[in-house]
Amino acid sequence: MLRIDCLRAIYNDLPDALVVTIMGATAAELQSLGHRENFFYLQHAMGLASSLGLGLALCKPDRQVIVFDGDGSILMNLGGLTTLARYAPKNLVHVVFDNESLLSVGGFPTATSTGSDIAGIARAAGIPRSVSVNTVDEFAQAFRDALAVRELTTIVAKVEAKGPAVYVTDLALLENRFQFSRFARR
């Protein structure tokens, strides 16, 4: 399963949501499908995409918030999973693309390659719904279920360690930030 195929499968489910991605391949792939003003690509601060999503979800309870996280990123902020679970916003879907690798910085293996189980960690942290998926169809179904059920869900999508050919973007960080913020405040 490729991450970009997962993103493509649910791209049309994202028009009104506040979407936050991590840096690197995930940001580049979502943008390659077509940038929208409701997409914010957190191009640094590894680990904090989920915390940013929690802040958004608590302050905008009537809006759907989606975080596209990664194994390397969430492993940097496992404590944040317990904070997510503690407040368990019903309007947040937390997707973790797990390629068992720090792909964007040379492909070195993360601890999920040696058995650490993020879906299990999320469940044990107290996230109300936590699922692991291995095919694009399973992913799309799990994603739509999570939107429909309105309960905090962590979806761990086991994907191949393959990214885009290029990571460059013509979207300046601050342009993205102010555009997204304007959308979020509507």
Partner 1 sequence: MPVSENNSRLVYAALKNCGVRLVSALPETWLVHLIRMADDDPEMILVRLAKEEEGVGISAGAHFAGVKSAMLMQNHGFLASINGIVSMAHLYKIPLLMLISYRGTHGERDPRQTQGGNVTERTLQALGIPYEFLDDTAAVEKKIRQAQTLAESSLQPVALLLMRDLMWEEPSA
Residues that bind partner 1 in the complex, under the rule CB under 8 A: 18, 40, 42-60, 77, 79-80, 82-83, 86-87, 173-174, 177, 180-181, 184-185
Q: How far is the CB of 87 from partner 1 (least distance, A)?
A: 7
Nearer to partner 1, 84 or 131 (CB): 84
Q: How far is CA 150 from CA 6, 64, 91, in A?
A: 21, 9, 6
Q: What is the DSSP letter of 45?
A: S
Q: How far is the CB of 181 from partner 1 (least distance, A)?
A: 5
Q: Phi, psi at residue 169, to the nearest 5°?
A: -140, 150
Nearer to partner 1, 25 or 142 (CB): 25
How many whole angstroms separate alpha carbon 112 and alpha carbon 124?
16
Q: How far is CA 54 from CA 3, 9, 134, in A?
A: 23, 24, 26
Nearer to partner 1, 86 or 90 (CB): 86
Q: How far is the CB of 10 from partner 1 (least distance, A)?
A: 22
Name, in order, each residue with C-beta under 8 angstroms of 89's C-beta and a sequence gap of 6 or more: 54, 57, 58, 61, 65, 152
Nearer to partner 1, 39 or 139 (CB): 39
Q: How far is the CB of 84 from partner 1 (least distance, A)?
A: 9
